[in-house]
């Protein structure tokens, strides 16, 4: 085959994939309509799983990170949780939960929340720990209680990093939710995993959709992260990022692809 | 719904029927069948090692280019950053029409995830070389080329190795999904029987052990190569 023919074939498969997303068609075995508007329930379920597991992860990881960061305990936990978290395959956790606890949306959400917690926890912890000790002392001196110090000083100063963690986790969770069919939840992963039902076009089209979803979430949450950074902090952000980039230990806090 | 076209990979009747038949966690079964996991494990190692090496070579070349042409840092980080964001399951599927079903597709996708981490760490390592060391090298009459290879890169090794370690453990985890690309590995072994706990646990634990083993291996190699840093750990 000449390169031109290969290129044309690749282009054809991609445009067929995109066509799958906009127009319904019969499934490979026949009898069932797939693609087009039948994709909405899959997208809805995907986003539902992402939303629920993120909610759960944030509710667990942020308070824990704030507490351990405030009390200055948990250096070991913060560094080991992200190291271990990275090497555990997402599919292992999802299947482990579904095989031990059964196939259900709740179990999938629980498994995915476990994957989403480490980046949020570590970033929150590091965010609180990097707050200047003098600032905390000043807050104490002004008579703020422990809880007030957390709420009025440490959390606002840590917010950019907290949102950095949330951003990492959202992208991870959007990716991991594609494994939903293995836990009996029909997410956007279904056409990718079950190409024998949806066809090659379904696999490619949905893969493009999931990729677009992840990139959109990344851009959206990057903007959100900038928005929650207090104006007074923005010049300081550079210093923070510089430190993140240059310290090997802190650099490991940075995100993990899924 | 998932059409569970499951291949029950083992003959279970020969073993304790109560445990295996109930898809339980059966140490006896694992002991008898651990040998079946060695070939997927080996494939997993191949996927990881080839992808990390390829990622390192590309990131290293990009870093050497960006060292002289600083404006390249932004575009390189941006493009590799977008690659990093794309979910691996989706990337494996997107590559299928282009590179086909097999090992190569798995390696290309996994390589693309290593670029950002390794590139970022090489640049950070080179940027952190003390100015005094560079001045001393220049003062000793070293050419730019000599200074790079004999002073800057050796001093940057700890950060470069840190990047390679992160890339390696990440790749071990991601390679578990390479079965979508037809590249095999332990993920392939996991999905051959997704309801049998012994199978899931064995393959997953092998994944985690592999990540830990490769990480220790790299750490050990670094310590052997940099005796002057041993005290610092």
Rounded to whole angstroms, the Cα distance separating A88 from A103 reads 20
Per CATH, domain B37-229 is 1.10.3720.10: yes
- Does B87 sit within 8 Å of A214, measured CB to CB? yes
* Residue A34: strand pairing partners: A25
Query: Measured between beta carbons, which residues in chain B are less than 8 angstroms from residue A92?
Result: 176, 190, 200, 203-204, 207-208
- Does A86 sit within 8 Å of B169, measured CB to CB? yes
Query: Measured between beta carbons, which residues in chain B are less than 8 angstroms from residue A204?
Result: 93-94, 96-97
- Does A200 sit within 8 Å of B203, measured CB to CB? no
* Mean pLDDT within A161-189: 91
Nearest CB among B84, B180, B201 relative to A192 is that of B180
- Does B86 sit within 8 Å of A178, measured CB to CB? no
Which helix (DSSP H) or strand (DSSP E) does residue A25 occupy?
strand A25-26
What tokens were used for B155? Answer: 């001093």
Q: Which pLDDT does position A73 carry in this prediction?
A: 82
* Mean pLDDT within A97-115: 87
Q: What does R_g of chain A's alpha carbons equal in angstroms?
A: 22
Kindly state the percentage of chain A with pLDDT values over 90. 32
Query: Measured between beta carbons, which residues in chain B are less than 8 angstroms from residue A258?
Result: 87-88, 174
Query: Measured between beta carbons, which residues in chain A are less than 8 angstroms from residue B97?
Result: 9-10, 13-14, 200, 204
Arithmetic mean of pLDDT over chain A: 84
Half-sphere exposure (CA, 13 Å, Cβ side) for A164? 21
What is this structure's pTM?
A: 0.83
Domain ranges (residues) in chain B:
37-229
Place of tokens 């390589």: B111
User: What secondary structure letter does DSSP report for B83?
Assistant: H
Q: What is the 3-state secondary structure (H, E, C) of B109-157?
A: HHHHHHHHHHHHHHHHHHHCCCHHHHHHHHHCCCCHHHHHHHHHHHHHH
Is residue A119 within 8 Å of A256, Cβ to Cβ?
A: yes
Q: For residue A108, count other CB atoms closer than 10 A to its CB.
A: 27
Q: What is the pLDDT of residues A213-251, one digit of tens each?
A: 999 999 999 999 888 887 766 654 445 555 555 444 444
Nearest CB among B89, B197, B204 relative to A178 is that of B89
Domain ranges (residues) in chain A:
51-187+214-251
Distance from CA of A171 to the nearest CA of B (A): 7
Rounded to whole angstroms, the Cα distance separating A154 from A70 reads 8
Is residue A93 within 8 Å of B203, Cβ to Cβ?
A: no
- Does B2 sit within 8 Å of A181, measured CB to CB? yes
Q: Could you say which residues from 66 to 125 on chain B have a Cβ atom under 8 Å away from some Cβ of chain A?
A: 82, 84-94, 96-98, 113, 117, 120-121, 124
- Does B2 sit within 8 Å of A99, measured CB to CB? no
Query: Measured between beta carbons, which residues in chain A are less than 8 angstroms from residue B207?
Result: 87-89, 92
- Does A89 sit within 8 Å of B177, measured CB to CB? yes
Nearest CB among B94, B120, B194 relative to A95 is that of B194
Q: Which pLDDT does position B172 carry in this prediction?
A: 93
> Is the CB of residue A184 less than 8 Å away from at least one CB of chain B?
yes
Q: Which pLDDT does position B14 carry in this prediction?
A: 53
| CATH class entry, domain A51-187+214-251 | mainly alpha
Rounded to whole angstroms, the Cα distance separating B8 from A221 reads 43
Q: Which pLDDT does position B1 carry in this prediction?
A: 42
Long-range contacts of B8-16 (CB under 8 A, 24+ apart): B8/B193, B8/B196, B9/B36, B9/B192, B9/B193, B9/B199, B10/B36, B10/B193
Q: Which pLDDT does position A29 carry in this prediction?
A: 78
Give the chain A residue whose CA is nearest to the CA of B159: A248
Nearest CB among A9, A208, A251 relative to B121 is that of A251
* Mean pLDDT within A155-169: 91
- Residue numbers in chain B where pLDDT is lower than 70: 1-17, 227-233
Rounded to whole angstroms, the Cα distance separating A203 from B90 reads 9
* Mean pLDDT within A156-171: 91
3-class state of residue B230 by DSSP:
coil
Q: Which pLDDT does position A237 carry in this prediction?
A: 47
Rounded to whole angstroms, the Cα distance separating B63 from A25 reads 47
> Is the CB of residue A32 less than 8 Å away from at least one CB of chain B?
no
């Amino acid at each position: 085959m000449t390169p031109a023919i290969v290129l044309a074939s690749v282009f054809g498969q991609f445009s067929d994939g995109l066509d799958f997303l906009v127009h319904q068609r019969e499934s490979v075995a026949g009898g069932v309509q797939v693609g087009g508007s039948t994709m909405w329930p899959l997208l809805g379920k995907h986003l539902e799983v992402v939303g629920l597991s993120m909610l759960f992860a944030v509710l667990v990881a942020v308070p824990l990170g704030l507490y351990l960061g405030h009390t200055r305990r948990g250096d070991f936990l913060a560094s080991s949780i992200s190291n271990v978290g990275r090497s555990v395959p997402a599919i292992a956790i999802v299947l482990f939960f579904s095989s031990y606890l059964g196939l259900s949306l709740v179990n999938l959400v629980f498994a995915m929340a476990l994957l989403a917690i480490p980046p949020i926890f570590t970033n929150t912890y590091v965010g609180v720990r990097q707050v200047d000790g003098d600032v905390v002392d000043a807050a104490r001196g002004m008579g703020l209680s422990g809880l007030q110090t957390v709420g009025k000083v440490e959390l606002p100063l840590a917010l950019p990093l907290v949102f950095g963690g949330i951003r990492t986790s959202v992208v991870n969770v959007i990716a991991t939710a594609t494994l939903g069919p293995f836990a009996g939840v029909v997410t956007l992963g279904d056409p990718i995993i079950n190409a024998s039902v949806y066809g090659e076009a379904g696999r490619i089209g949905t893969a493009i959709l999931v990729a677009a979803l992840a990139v959109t979430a990344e851009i959206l949450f990057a903007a959100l992260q900038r928005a929650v950074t207090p104006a007074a902090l923005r010049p300081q952000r550079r210093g923070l990022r510089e430190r993140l980039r240059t310290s090997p230990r802190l650099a490991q806090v940075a995100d993990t692809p899924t | 719904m998932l059409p569970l076209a499951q291949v029950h990979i083992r003959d279970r009747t020969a073993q304790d029927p109560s445990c295996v038949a109930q898809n339980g966690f059966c140490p006896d079964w694992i002991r008898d069948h651990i040998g079946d996991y060695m070939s997927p494990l080996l494939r997993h190692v191949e996927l990881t090692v080839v992808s990390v090496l390829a990622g390192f070579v590309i990131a290293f070349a990009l870093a050497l280019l960006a060292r002289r042409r600083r404006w390249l840092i932004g575009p390189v980080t941006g493009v590799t950053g977008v690659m990093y964001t794309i979910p691996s399951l989706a990337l494996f599927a997107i590559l299928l029409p282009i590179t086909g079903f097999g090992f190569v597709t798995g390696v290309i996708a996994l390589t693309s995830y290593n670029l950002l981490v390794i590139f970022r760490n090489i640049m950070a390592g080179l940027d952190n070389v003390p100015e005094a060391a560079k001045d001393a090298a220049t003062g000793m009459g070293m050419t730019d080329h000599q200074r790079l290879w004999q002073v800057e890169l050796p001093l940057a090794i700890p950060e470069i190795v840190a990047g390679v370690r992160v890339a390696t453990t990440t790749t071990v985890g991601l390679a578990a999904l390479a079965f979508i690309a037809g590249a095999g590995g332990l993920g392939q072994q996991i999905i051959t029987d997704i309801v049998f706990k012994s199978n899931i646990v064995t393959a997953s634990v092998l994944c985690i052990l592999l990540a830990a083993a490769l990480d220790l291996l790299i750490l050990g190699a670094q310590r052997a190569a940099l005796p002057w840093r041993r005290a610092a750990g």
